Structure 1
Amino acid sequence: MTYDKKLPKIALGAWAWGNDNTFGGELSIDELCPIYDEAMDLGLNLWDTAFAYGMGTSEKVLGEFLKTTPKEDYIISTKFTPQCADPQSENAVTAMLENSMNLLNTDFIDIFWIHNTVDAPKWTEKLALTAKEYDIGMLGVSNHNLEEIKEANDILEDNGLELKAVQNHYSLLNRSSETSGILDYCKKNDITFFAYMVLEQGALSGKYDTKHPFPEGSDRAMAYGDSLDKIEELNNVLGEVAANHEVNIAQIPVAWAIAKGTLPIVGATKKHHVSDAFKACEITLSKDEIDMIEKAGDEVNVNTIRFWEKEMK
């Protein structure tokens, strides 16, 4: 099958809709409904989720909204997470796909991923079997390094399939998917690279600094709190570029990720996150601006790799 849906310039992440507090506080359906409606009105119809986000909560909440939307109007990205595999299932990949479709109230998944590299070759073989049984738009892998991406591509090609998507942590503070050659590989092989944590959970939004730290005791405070002085310097540079374009700071890292040829995933927990993301799609950064903010990002020299990740080498 040739997948012919046109992807928007960004995806909206529903990981915080899982209510496990890793990516923020608990959110109700009533609070999330205006976010969903705003996104769909603006044509931002690509939603990224996974069963692992709240053990089905994210998918279930998103599925409540999809009930009211024709399936041709939305694009769903969800994942097989090895740690959540059912050991009793003959093919745990198929079982998780079916469960996700049930939670999401849909009979078609546009992008289905291997979420990480735990026993990845085995699960990629299983993914191939699932893709032959079910119509899936695109197959992808997440949190894979270049060697692992090539291995997954070979396994799928041996089964007459294609790897069409890669999803990794990529931001001005973590460009290892670029320096390792992953971005170049994706471009050469017509693979869409999805960049998650482009805003580093709000650290690159301009909202937080040494005088306005992350909420005490939060996961974000533990990850970024000791580096806020350095991150503040980067945000000052981002602020200069934002002023040139008459936008806010948070839109510049997103525009940068688009300029780098990636498809950024922006977490959507407030309505203005959606409108800001939409405006970021319209920003064109100059080469000088890109060079300036990348230099500022490199000078921060902060390790933002989280507990579930690894540096791409």
Structure 2
Amino acid sequence: MEYVKLGRTGLDVSRICLGCMGFGVPQPGFHQWVLSEEESRKVIRQALDLGINFFDTANVYSAGTSEEFVGRALKDLARRDQIVLATKVHGRMHEGPNGAGLSRKAILSEVDRSLKRLGTDYIDLYQIHRWDYGTPIEETMEALHDVVRAGKVRYLGASAMRAYQFLKALNAADRHGWTRFVSMQNHLNLIYREEEREMLPLCQEEGIGVIPYSPLAGGRLTRDWSETTARERSDQVLHQKYDASADADRPIVERLADLAARRGVPRAQIGLAWLLQKAPVTAPIVGATRSSHLDDAVAALSVKLSAEEVALLEEPYVPHRIVGYQ
């Protein structure tokens, strides 16, 4: 396993992050393909055995049960000071007023609930899951600064927003002397590269670590175009992300398959190797639900693509509509 600093911090993270959205109790209106606690624990144990120290979940994943599964597994299987544990806040956690968003009330309530579910005294990386159009960014940033000062959170991160919004948040923190975001968790893979236009250059300039989600486009980069899975048949979010661009994406997926065949490696390794070579990517978030997912992710660290291979994979890309945030 390779380890790198997260942005300009001194925090060491593995170059592969285990995404934990696939763990939890199935919930109405959320993913039905999630793993049970027993199966989740097997994946977490394998990740630890492979040297992965970076784990990402969210309060909203399976109504908090992802946090519960992850917290119990890591408490039993790892030393807390060797683990980098990340979670998020924004999604709706209860009906009625103040059940979602990034108000001071929501943040101060939800950070305590996440700590309880995770079974820990502190969160290493606390991330805002989306932009809250109903709350002034100054209110959000001050509340986040306060949870850092209280010792409940070590670092702050953001996810899935426009570059101008992220810059507004960074500027608000700088103006008031509040804790800055150190990472951006955004949507980035070979068939969705819109973040290259503004967000990646901004993160490079500001020293922000980039931890992309959906690095393999929900599996679409890993199999034949006509092949489907149980997740793909039931995951409406996946369809919202990629169905509209399917015709444009197919040539990229086919080039990736050809290159993987020539290299004699699984397609997932090529897809991740492309992402790992892209600055300023720190650690792709791999949503592993099978042992082979983690094996391929770690093996991708040894796959080095030439400039010609990168150009071959990138050449068919055309602009896509924005998906992942509003």
Length-normalised TM-score, structure 1: 0.87
Q: Which range moved further: 117-126 or 68-77?
A: 117-126
d(CA) in 1 for partners of 2:271 and 2:44?
22
Q: Deviations over 1:1-60 (max 9, x none)?
A: x95331111211101214348556131122122211111011112111001111101101
Q: Are the aligned partners of 2:124 and 2:153 in contact in 1 as well (CA < 8 Å)?
A: yes
Q: Deviations over 1:221-280 (max 9, x none)?
A: 565457656544322211222234331111212111111121211101111111111111
Letter in 2 for 1:294: E
Q: Are the aligned partners of 2:186 and 2:211 in contact in 1 as well (CA < 8 Å)?
A: yes
Q: Are the aligned partners of 1:204 and 1:231 in contact in 2 as well (CA < 8 Å)?
A: no
Q: Are the aligned partners of 1:139 and 1:163 in contact in 2 as well (CA < 8 Å)?
A: yes
Aligned counterpart for 2:53 among listed residues 40, 45, 55:
45
Gaps of at least 5 residues in structure 1 are none
Question: Are the structure 2 counterparts of residues 254 and 153 from structure 1 closer, same or farther at C-alpha, using a change threshold of 3 Å?
Answer: same
Please list every run of at least 4 consecutive aligned residues from structure 1 whose deviation after the TM superposition is greater than 6 angstroms.
none
Q: Are the aligned partners of 1:235 and 1:249 in contact in 2 as well (CA < 8 Å)?
A: no
1:142 is matched with: 159
Report the Cα offset of residue 65 of structure 1: 0.3
Question: Are the structure 2 counterparts of residues 47 and 7 from structure 1 closer, same or farther at C-alpha, using a change threshold of 3 Å?
Answer: same
What is the SS of the residue equivalent to 1:16?
coil
Length-normalised TM-score, structure 2: 0.84
Q: Are the aligned partners of 1:16 and 1:24 in contact in 2 as well (CA < 8 Å)?
A: no
Q: Which range moved further: 272-281 or 20-29?
A: 20-29
d(CA) in 2 for partners of 1:82 and 1:29?
22
Question: Are the structure 2 counterparts of residues 23 and 274 from structure 1 closer, same or farther at C-alpha, using a change threshold of 3 Å?
Answer: farther
d(CA) in 2 for partners of 1:191 and 1:87?
30
2:312 is matched with: 292
Q: Deviations over 1:251-310 (max 9, x none)?
A: 2121111111212111011111111111112211111111111113x15x665725xx24
1:72-83 matches, within 5 Å, as: 72-81=81-90, 83=92
Aligned counterpart for 1:178 among listed residues 152, 172, 196:
196
Aligned residues: 302
1:110-189 matches, within 5 Å, as: 110-118=124-132, 119=135, 121=137, 122-157=139-174, 158-180=176-198, 182-189=199-206
Q: Are the aligned partners of 2:104 and 2:143 in contact in 1 as well (CA < 8 Å)?
A: no
Residue 10 of structure 2 corresponds to residue 4 of structure 1: yes
Q: Which range moved further: 226-235 or 76-85?
A: 226-235
Q: Are the aligned partners of 2:194 and 2:322 in contact in 1 as well (CA < 8 Å)?
A: no
1:101 is matched with: 115
Q: Are the aligned partners of 1:209 and 1:229 in contact in 2 as well (CA < 8 Å)?
A: no
d(CA) in 2 for partners of 1:165 and 1:76?
14
1:209 is matched with: 225
Report the Cα offset of residue 117 of structure 1: 0.6
1:92 is matched with: 106
1:248 is matched with: 266
Gaps of at least 5 residues in structure 2 are 1-7
d(CA) in 1 for partners of 2:239 and 2:163?
31
Q: Are the aligned partners of 2:256 and 2:267 in contact in 1 as well (CA < 8 Å)?
A: yes
Question: Are the structure 2 counterparts of residues 92 and 266 from structure 1 closer, same or farther at C-alpha, using a change threshold of 3 Å?
Answer: same
What is the SS of the residue equivalent to 1:57?
helix
